[in-house]
Amino acid sequence: MTEPPRRTRAQQRRDTEARILAAARETFAELGYERTTIRAVAAAAGVNAGLVMHYFGSKEELFARAARLEPHELPPGDPAEALLAVLRKRLEGQPVASLVVLRSMLTHAEAAEGFREAATEWLERIEAAIPAGDADLRAGLISAIMTGVVVDRYLLKLSSLAEAPADDILALLRPCFESLAGAR
């Protein structure tokens, strides 16, 4: 029986950095920017606070990395179904980076700016997929619905959205998205 290959120091460093970043995303998503401390992130990652500072330099830099939003791609095909597929991903797997930004954007300027940048790109993608003269308004409504569903499901938990199966939510939204995306 052969032994598994030993991890190099570089791999160990990348793993540690990734573990800290994952813990930071979870902590910022739960507590927001103001209430998150380097010590809390370190405890969640199972490292000491000095190591967090070594990898990220400051709370601000850690937040910037944790809040970096990946651009959303709109799958090809029917715009309504493509948008529902994107929403399904958010409903089935907690969008932690998005939650970091959404929880913090009202009290932290960098989070608000990051959200605006990502939202602008996303709105342009939606708008380009909608074959209607008022595509910009329709894209804004679709984006607002998607954001509202995510905020209620993961942050506010005010309604049954928090526990509802993704299929049920998507079935109810399908006619709305079809109408807004110009399919009807």
Buried b (16+ CB within 10 A) or exposed e, 5-44: eeeeeeeeeeebbeebbebbbbbbbbebbeebebebbbeb
**Residue 22 corresponds to which tokens in the numbers above?**
């994952």
Segment 142-159 mean pLDDT: 90
| 74 alpha-carbon distance from chain centroid | 15
Q: How high is the pLDDT of residue 71?
A: 65
User: From residue 69, how far is each of 3, 7, 47, 72, 175 by CA, in Å?
Assistant: 38, 29, 25, 9, 28
Please report the pLDDT score of residue 75 as a whole number. 79
Which carries the bigger pLDDT value, residue 178 or residue 29?
178
Average pLDDT over residues 159-177: 95
Tens-digit pLDDT profile for residues 88-137: 988 988 777 777 777 777 777 777 777 787 788 888 989 999 999 999 99
The length of the chain in residues reads 184
Smallest CA-to-CA distance from 173 within 55, 61, 63, 85 is with 85
Residues 22-75: tens digit of each pLDDT: 999 889 888 888 889 999 999 999 999 999 999 999 888 888 888 776 666 787
What is the pLDDT at residue 69?
66
pLDDT over 60 at 184, yes or no: no
Give burial (CB, 10 Å; 0-12/13-18/19+) of 140: middle
| DSSP-H helix ranges across 76-165 | 79-92, 96-104, 109-129, 135-150
For 10, 52, 59, the CA distances from 4, given in Å and listed in that order, are 17, 28, 36
Could you give the CA distance from residue 183 to residue 78 in angstroms, rounded to a whole number?
8
Which stretch of 1-5, 168-172, 179-183 has the lowest confidence by average pLDDT?
Answer: 1-5
pLDDT at site 103: 75
Handedness of CA 155, 157, 158, 159 (dihedral sign): positive
